[in-house]
């Protein structure tokens, strides 16, 4: 039925194959400095809930567990490594010191609540655990705010996917238009990735690295 339908089938099949462990693993990556957007994972988990292959309790629990594990790994990266880690390896994950600086400023301004709020903000949610660790934020509040924020965000995306799957036949009536938007987004995304990698390589050469 078109590109959108094919992508949806493949993504749903992949998550179904990985099971709850796959959801946890992908969300752990999403909570670190890996470019795995939760928007590309959780809605398809919602699809599988509608198809009765997953349960709400299982998806929310394991996605939140994955988010907590990934956030804790980033927390300890910040605790023991901090900025030098992003400076050295961030360019390979489309992140840079500027992103970290913005996240640090955000954390300094709003304090511990940033851990909760950041779950709803792109880029920031990938990095926020690093300044929390570097700033030696107490572990228990960090875990509580991380769980609350991740659970809320994951539940919203899962519900969106559930509603989409419930109305899939109606949505697919406009598959030609949707396919065009998907192709445009993919081209834009590939262009952005290419530009960032090219810029990082150019900066490395200019710095003699």
Residue 174 carries which DSSP code?
Answer: G
pLDDT in tens, 52-88: 999 999 999 999 999 999 999 888 888 887 667 666 6
Q: Is residue 197 part of a domain?
A: no
Residue (of 132, 116, 114) closest to 77 by Cα position: 132
Q: Is residue 202 part of a domain?
A: no
Q: Is residue 55 part of a domain?
A: yes
Q: Is residue 186 part of a domain?
A: no
Q: Is residue 21 part of a domain?
A: yes
Assess whether pLDDT exceeds 60 at residue 93: no
Query: What percent of the chain has pLDDT above 70?
Result: 65
pLDDT in tens, 15-45: 889 999 999 998 998 888 776 778 878 888 9
- Total structural domains within the chain: 1
Q: Is residue 86 part of a domain?
A: yes
Please list, in sequence order, all residues whose beta carbon lies within 8 angstroms of the beta carbon of residue 165, skipping any fewer than 6 positions away.
Answer: 46, 47, 50, 51
């Amino acid at each position: 039925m078109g590109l959108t339908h094919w992508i949806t089938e493949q993504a749903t099949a992949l998550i179904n194959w990985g099971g709850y462990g796959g959801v946890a693993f992908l969300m752990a990556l999403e909570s670190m400095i890996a470019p795995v957007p939760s928007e590309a994972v959780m809605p398809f988990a919602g699809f599988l809930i509608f198809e009765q292959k997953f349960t709400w309790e299982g998806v929310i629990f394991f996605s939140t567990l994955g988010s907590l594990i990934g956030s804790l790994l980033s927390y300890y990266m910040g605790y023991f490594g901090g900025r030098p880690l992003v400076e050295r390896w961030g360019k390979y994950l489309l992140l840079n010191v500027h992103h970290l600086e913005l996240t640090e400023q955000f954390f300094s301004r709003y304090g511990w609540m940033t851990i909760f709020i950041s779950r709803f903000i792109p880029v920031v949610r990938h990095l926020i655990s690093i300044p929390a660790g570097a700033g030696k934020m107490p572990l228990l509040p960090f875990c509580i705010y991380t769980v609350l924020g991740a659970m809320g965000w994951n539940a919203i995306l899962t519900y969106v996917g559930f509603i989409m799957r419930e109305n899939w036949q109606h949505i697919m009536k406009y598959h030609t238009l949707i396919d065009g938007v998907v192709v445009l987004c993919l081209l834009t995304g590939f262009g952005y990735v290419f530009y960032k990698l090219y810029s990082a390589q150019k900066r490395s050469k200019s710095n003699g690295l």
